Amino acid sequence: MQGVETVDLTNPASFAEGPPHAFYDWLREEHPVWWHPSETLCAPGFWVVTRYHDVIAVERDWRTFSSGARGALLEDQQAGTELMMLNQDPPQHTRLRNLVARAFTPKVIRSLEPHIREAARRIVDRVAGRDEVIDFVTELSAELPLVVIAELLGIPIEDRHKVFEWSNKMIGANDPEYGTGGMEAASAASLELYAYAQGLADARRERPLDDIVTMLVNAELDGERLSDVEFNVFVLLLSVAGNETTRNLISGGMLALFEHPEEYERLRADPEGLLPTAVDEMLRWVSPVRYFRRTVTADTELHGVPLRAGDALTVQYAAANRDPRVFDDPHRFDVGRTPNEHIAFGGRGPHYCLGAALAKVEIVAMFDEILRRLPDLRRAGAPQYLQSTLINGIRHLPVRFTPER
Ligand code: HEM
């Protein structure tokens, strides 16, 4: 390989300086289906798929590329997670997805929007008067996704910090700061969250309210309803899937603006006109989920490379979202980019992100508030990246601004 070093995608430390784009480019152009040897995670290794159209083809062909066989992550599945829809194939997946999709209809999302706007306002209220360096991640981007999931599930305010902590422990198991307890703390956190979810479900069965949890635990669809354990696992999935992704999109999107001052200026000059395209560009640029895994179910081939039944394979969203076959000048950050058919929410298969519309409402609300209220928000130090093989995240991003009077 010329001038590009192979990156170990199974080592969280490989992401300490951000996503390895030079490596992704090399793979996408030279080895679109590359065998990643591994002695630790997923030994003896797995295929790495980096081209946009290949990611979509793999995700759509769920019969050949299964999520159910061994799960959607490189890590071995923990007991119970096979009940998560992310780790299932149709028809089990379809049943579960139809049951929970009722919590994500356009009507539900419209009804949440005023709360989301209000929550974004309160978050900015808390920092707007401060004349000091603050951490963008903990003070601005971390809170909203958490509040929204808590709102969606009817979790009382006083319990929200617990859900935040459990979620941090589960996602950052191998990050030096978040995951001090490693996998053990992550498993303990997920057990606590299950128990908490069970309490929520029990409370709503006893005293039904006009809310989503009541709907999820009581309502039937074609004679089907969620079992207790399915509900608990769904709460766990939401707490991880909806939280870290959105938080890191907001942080990473802000960092992209700092790194591209002309684009930042353009957006500030016309937030109403440009926010919708800017948010999609942030999603493409950041790609908060790096990869998901599939398992090959029958011998097949891709670009002439033979894949064997049982092989593990990953689709790499961050690489696909910079595929020059689809995106003009893909390494340019352009807040007005159109078209922009990025696949940060997945490659349009059965697992396409259930929370995509909700996430966009959150991101728009947050940037709308930030751009108006903290117009000279600027970087006051280097970002510290989250060391995770799954999530492209930022742990800390010091910023400052002229305080609001
Ligand atoms: C910027 C924010 C987000 C990003 C980048 C993101 C990304 C993704 C991706 C890549 C997938 C897998 C897609 C596939 O395999 O085709 C996914 C699935 C999922 N996401 Fe998101 N997500 C985000 C926010 C959210 C939010 C806010 C929620 C809920 C509150 C959510 C809930 C889910 C669920 C439940 C699934 C599994 C769907 C299934 O298996 O059918 N996500 N997301």
Task: List, for residues 118-142, the tens digit of each pLDDT value.
Answer: 999 999 999 999 999 999 999 999 9
Beta bridge partners, 396, equal 384
DSSP one-letter code for 74: S
Find out whether the beta carbon of 109 lies less than 6 Å from any atom of ligand 1. Answer: no
Mean pLDDT of the chain: 93
Within a domain: residue 5? no
Q: What is the mean pLDDT of residues 270-276?
A: 97
Per-residue model confidence (pLDDT) at position 374? 97
Per-residue model confidence (pLDDT) at position 24? 98
Within a domain: residue 148? yes
- Alpha carbon of 246 to ligand 1 centroid (Å): 10
Per-residue model confidence (pLDDT) at position 179? 54
Closest-CA residue, ligand 1 atom 13, reads: 346
Task: Report the domain count for the chain.
Answer: 1
Per-residue model confidence (pLDDT) at position 183? 76
Find out whether the beta carbon of 59 lies less than 6 Å from any atom of ligand 1. Answer: yes
pLDDT category of residue 180 using cuts at 50, 70 and 90:
low
For residue 400 the two structure tokens come to 């400052």
Q: For residue range 93-124, what is the model confidence (pLDDT) as tens digits?
A: 999 999 999 889 999 999 999 999 999 999 99
Per-residue model confidence (pLDDT) at position 160? 84
Q: How far apart are CA 204 and CA 220, in angstroms?
A: 15
Within a domain: residue 7? no
Burial of residue 14 (CB within 10 Å: 0-12, 13-18, 19+) is middle
Closest-CA residue, ligand 1 atom 34, reads: 354
**Crossing angle for the helix pair 228-241 and 143-153, to the nearest 10 degrees:** 160
Within a domain: residue 11? no
CATH label of the domain that carries residue 361: 1.10.630.10
Within a domain: residue 312? yes
Find out whether the beta carbon of 352 lies less than 6 Å from any atom of ligand 1. Answer: yes
Closest-CA residue, ligand 1 atom 24, reads: 242
- Alpha carbon of 303 to ligand 1 centroid (Å): 28
Find out whether the beta carbon of 344 lies less than 6 Å from any atom of ligand 1. Answer: yes
Domain that holds residue 387: 19-400
Q: What is the mean pLDDT of residues 280-284?
A: 98
Which tops the pLDDT comparison, 209 or 307?
307
Q: Residue 174: pLDDT above 80?
A: no
Beta bridge partners, 296, equal 65
- pTM over cut 0.75: yes
Closest-CA residue, ligand 1 atom 11, reads: 353
Per-residue model confidence (pLDDT) at position 177? 67
Within a domain: residue 84? yes
Per-residue model confidence (pLDDT) at position 167? 79
Distance of CA 398 to the CA centre of its chain: 22
Q: Residue 1: pLDDT above 60?
A: no
Q: Please state the atom number of ligand 1 nearest to the C-alpha of residue 287.
A: 5
- Alpha carbon of 381 to ligand 1 centroid (Å): 31
Least confident stretch, 125-129, 167-171, 202-206, 257-261: 167-171
Within a domain: residue 48? yes
Within a domain: residue 14? no
Find out whether the beta carbon of 237 lies less than 6 Å from any atom of ligand 1. Answer: yes
Find out whether the beta carbon of 345 lies less than 6 Å from any atom of ligand 1. Answer: yes
Q: How far apart are CA 318 and CA 53, in angstroms?
A: 13
The angle at the Cα of 18, spanning 173 to 358, to the nearest 5 degrees, equals 70
Q: What is the mean pLDDT of residues 364-370?
A: 98
Find out whether the beta carbon of 149 lies less than 6 Å from any atom of ligand 1. Answer: yes
